[in-house]
Amino acid sequence: MSDARTQLVLTASADAEHDDGKNLEATRDLARYLSGHGISLLEGSVGDGWPAIVFQSSGSSIGWADALPRGCRDMDSRMACVIESSFSAGQWREHGDAPLLPQGFSVGGVARVPGVNVGGNLQYVLPLGAVPLFPGSVYVNTSDPQRLREISDLFARCGMDVTRPQAQSLWSSLAGDSFVGVTLLFLVLALVCACVCVTTMETARKADLHVRRLFGATGRQVWAGRVRGAVASIVTGVLAGTMLSAVLITVVSGRTGIGPAVAFAAAFIGGTALTVLVTGLAEWFGIRSNDEVER
């Protein structure tokens, strides 16, 4: 989609009539309006709505949607594409059915949707107008105030209340994410284990340190040599760990919007820097401990 994106949150209106026929017709009016003005839309459901992504691709602005089979892009075809790696995709491949689809719909293919988490709740994609609009998070590729007012009016006709979420900083978003919290907890525990391990190893090398001292080596020189010797192993280990955790990095990049390449680079650089720092501190404590024993 265009870089000029606006996020809107749809919730079911308490005052609206729950008439699926009228809501479906209003949703189709919304689809025709967006198509006529060259505006694209993406909606992901939240809560108890359909576990679906709804799309309206105008001007070939949503690449993965434009690559779908023709039937999955037609609101009148009663066809949906299951999302690759979803529960519904597995059911369809193994048993030939997808029980989570809306009644009367059939599977028209498999969709590869960038940024959708493996094992997540979203199961399939539908063109806007195939089903009545449901609560969810919506993105439209326009920031024009007049267009947004008209779109909001059409959402209201679909039985939805519209709000605009307050922008959060990256750090605020990460701080409230339990996935990131658990990851940081394991990172801290791993660094503590590394520190204890290196300190213990250095204490066990008391005889080697004593010999180096006899040849005039200072504590700082011994420390620098130990850290330089550990850097190659640290870089190799962190690179291997970063590659093995590529799935987690992709998940985090998808949630924060910073992109897989940037997330991979940040994980590698940050992991290397932290591990070198912890190794350096552990070596220093071990050397100081041996010095005190010698005294």
- The domain locations on the chain are 6-167, 171-294
pLDDT of the chain along its 295 residues, tens only?
Answer: 555 688 898 988 877 667 788 999 999 999 999 999 999 999 998 766 789 999 999 876 788 998 999 999 999 999 999 998 888 998 999 988 888 998 899 999 999 888 776 657 889 999 999 999 999 999 999 999 999 999 999 999 999 999 988 766 656 666 666 767 777 787 788 778 777 776 776 665 666 665 666 666 666 776 677 677 677 776 777 776 766 566 565 555 555 555 666 767 777 787 778 777 777 776 676 666 655 444 5
Can you give the pTM of this predicted structure? Answer: 0.58
Instruction: Read off the tokens for 187.
Output: 């990172």
> In angstroms, how far is the first alpha carbon of the chain from the final one?
69
Instruction: Read off the tokens for 51.
Output: 């576990």
CA–CA distances in Å: residue 168 to residues 173, 181, 248, 256: 6, 17, 22, 11
Exposure string of 96-106, with b = 16+ CB inside 10 Å and e = fewer, is eebebbeeebe
The number of helices, as runs of H, and strands, as runs of E, in the chain is: 10, 8
The dihedral built from the CA positions of residue 257, 48, 56 and 167, taken in this order, carries a sign that is negative
Residue 146 CB coordination number (10 Å): 8
Residues 37 and 105: their CA atoms lie apart, in Å, by 29
Write the pLDDT tens digit of every residue in 145-184. Answer: 999 999 999 999 999 999 988 766 656 666 666 767 777 7
CA–CA distances in Å: residue 7 to residues 42, 110, 138: 10, 26, 6
